[in-house]
Amino acid sequence: MQKLGNEQSLAGKKILLGISGGIAAYKCAELTRRLIERGAQVQVVMTHAAKEFITPLTMQAVSGRPVSDSLLDPAAEASMGHIELAKWADLVLLAPATADLIARMAAGMGNDLLTTLVLASDAPIAVSPAMNQQMYSHPATQENIQTLSRRGCLIWGPAAGEQACGDVGMGRMLEPMQLVGLCESFFQPKLLAGRSVLITAGPTREAIDPVRYITNHSSGKMGYAIADAAAKLGAQVTLVSGPVALSTPNGVQRIDVESAQDMFDATTSNANSHDIFISCAAVADYRPDVIAKQKIKKTDENNDMSIHMVKNPDIVATIAAMTENRPFTVGFAAETQDVEHYARGKLQKKNLDMICANDVSVEGQGFNSSDNALYLYWKDTDKWEAGEKSLPLDSKQVLGFQILEQIQKLSSL
């Protein structure tokens, strides 16, 4: 399997980047750099209007190839003609795709190099709309987008937010890194196609009173990286997330929760409709027995206070104990000492199929960092033998794919 999330995830892929005339065109230099960084070859084709927003010279410099912009240019046709260019591409990515470009494509026009290429290419076409929110919601634009979608074009975006014209709403082009992620996902062999994965991520918050709670340092990065990787591998992904400051990965259905009990309810009610469950959340083991209705006051008399805590239900152990439609169940172990010993103990005690152990006492990995290092342990069953695997320090994105690769191997036996 290719390594996604790393520099070579698009190695050898030929992407024809068609830029039309919208303000988001300025983001195409960054987009091109990031695609090339991952090993893609990028051939830029610009409409005349696009050249008003970003220069062909800039795009030539970042792509390392002369930009094509004219259908009737004898010199260009002598090097790579428009039909050759159409055949060259593994993917045609139109970003930004303006309302005008989308309308011309929907009408089947070939009145410039870009629309001609779209007609002449049998490569998959991804359209990343970008326009003013009013233009985007206009019935004509909506119908044109639906027409392209019906014809098999991939529609990537748009996003909602503040627009260059000052309006707020749907119509922003996806950010370059989101488009890169979609390209990676598009080219990735769909190892988990047809499978469904339920993942928990982030911390839980256990309320003490209306203004205070007990939580931990989980940022959600590890769980979100697994969710992102699973979606890229073709799985249907449900992410039950504690409170984090991360955006939902593309193609992932997210359920937000706060407390361990909320996470328990959301997870157990979804478990039997999923093939795989990965419990990456840092769930509070205990919660305050009573949540004070009003803010607890500091008093002059009391120099100390205590909170009586009760045990939360164990989510992963509950799911692992299911007798019907039990998903392949994977836990995590966050340890600060005797990592293997404690992880193997949790694997047995919680009746898991596999456990991913991390030493969270090591600087630069574990909680709230971009990287991690893991040990995977799985126990003997009648289908597979016990085993282990070390996943050395890498980005959580890369580790997400490696974890899923091992899960896929075992759960398909």
The binding site consists of 285, 295, 313-316, 332, 346, 350
Shortest reach from residue 298's CB to ligand PMT, in Å = 31
Q: Is 235 in the site for ligand PMT (CB under 6 A)?
A: no
Angle between helices 176-187 and 221-232 (to 10 degrees): 50
- One residue of 346, 354, 359, 408 binding ligand PMT per CB under 6 A: 346
Residue 2 to residue 24: CA distance in whole angstroms: 30
Q: Is 222 in the site for ligand PMT (CB under 6 A)?
A: yes
Q: Is 5 in the site for ligand PMT (CB under 6 A)?
A: no
Cβ-contact 331, 314 below 8 angstroms: no
17 vs 266 by CB, closer to ligand PMT: 266
SS3 122: coil
| Lookup result for tokens 């005797």 | 338
Enumerate the H helices of 233-289 as residue ranges.
260-271
Determine if residue 342 is left, alpha or beta; phi over 0 gives left, psi from -120 to 50 gives alpha, anything else beta.
Answer: alpha
**Cα angle 99-101-103, degrees, rounded to a multiple of 5:** 65
- One residue of 35, 280, 347, 407 binding ligand PMT per CB under 6 A: 280
| Lookup result for tokens 């939360």 | 312
Q: Is 241 in the site for ligand PMT (CB under 6 A)?
A: no
List 153, 165, 183, 280, catalytic entry = 165
Cβ-contact 278, 330 below 8 angstroms: yes
- Contacts with ligand PMT by CB under 6 A: the residue count is 27
Q: Is 260 in the site for ligand PMT (CB under 6 A)?
A: yes
121 vs 402 by CB, closer to ligand PMT: 402
Q: Is 368 in the site for ligand PMT (CB under 6 A)?
A: yes
142 vs 370 by CB, closer to ligand PMT: 370
Q: Is 366 in the site for ligand PMT (CB under 6 A)?
A: yes
Cβ-contact 97, 129 below 8 angstroms: yes
Shortest reach from residue 367's CB to ligand PMT, in Å = 5
Cβ-contact 169, 210 below 8 angstroms: no
Q: Is 287 in the site for ligand PMT (CB under 6 A)?
A: no
Residue 5 to residue 277: CA distance in whole angstroms: 22
Taken in order 299, 305, 310, 316, the sign of the CA dihedral is: positive
Shortest reach from residue 239's CB to ligand PMT, in Å = 12
Shortest reach from residue 355's CB to ligand PMT, in Å = 7
Residue 118 parent element (H or E): helix 113-120
Q: Is 403 in the site for ligand PMT (CB under 6 A)?
A: no
Cβ-contact 197, 276 below 8 angstroms: yes
Q: Is 377 in the site for ligand PMT (CB under 6 A)?
A: no
Residue 4 to residue 2: CA distance in whole angstroms: 6
Shortest reach from residue 157's CB to ligand PMT, in Å = 27
Q: Which stretch binds ligand PMT (CB under 6 A): 162-170, 226-234, 293-301, 328-336?
A: 328-336
Residue 102 to residue 296: CA distance in whole angstroms: 59
Q: Which segments are annotated as binding site for CTP?
A: 285, 295, 313-316, 332, 346, 350
Cβ-contact 126, 91 below 8 angstroms: yes
Shortest reach from residue 267's CB to ligand PMT, in Å = 8
Q: Is 153 a catalytic residue?
A: no
Which residues ranging from 97 to 156 are in contact with ligand PMT (CB under 6 A)? none
141 vs 369 by CB, closer to ligand PMT: 369
Residue 228 to residue 1: CA distance in whole angstroms: 16
| Lookup result for tokens 């050249």 | 51
Q: Which stretch binds ligand PMT (CB under 6 A): 8-16, 269-277, 366-374, 403-411?
A: 366-374
Q: Is 220 in the site for ligand PMT (CB under 6 A)?
A: yes
Q: Which stretch binds ligand PMT (CB under 6 A): 33-41, 89-97, 189-197, 313-321?
A: 313-321
- One residue of 133, 178, 238, 358 binding ligand PMT per CB under 6 A: 358
Taking Cα atoms as reference points, which of 174, 225, 264, 255 lies closest to residue 398? 225
- One residue of 45, 183, 316, 376 binding ligand PMT per CB under 6 A: 316
Q: Which positions ≥6 away from 109 have C-beta within 8 Å?
A: 115
- One residue of 132, 133, 178, 312 binding ligand PMT per CB under 6 A: 312
Residue 271 to residue 261: CA distance in whole angstroms: 15
Residue 4 to residue 400: CA distance in whole angstroms: 9
Q: Which residues bind ligand PMT (CB under 6 A)?
A: 202, 218-222, 260, 279-283, 285, 312, 314-316, 331-334, 346, 358, 360, 366-368
Which residues are identified as catalytic? 165
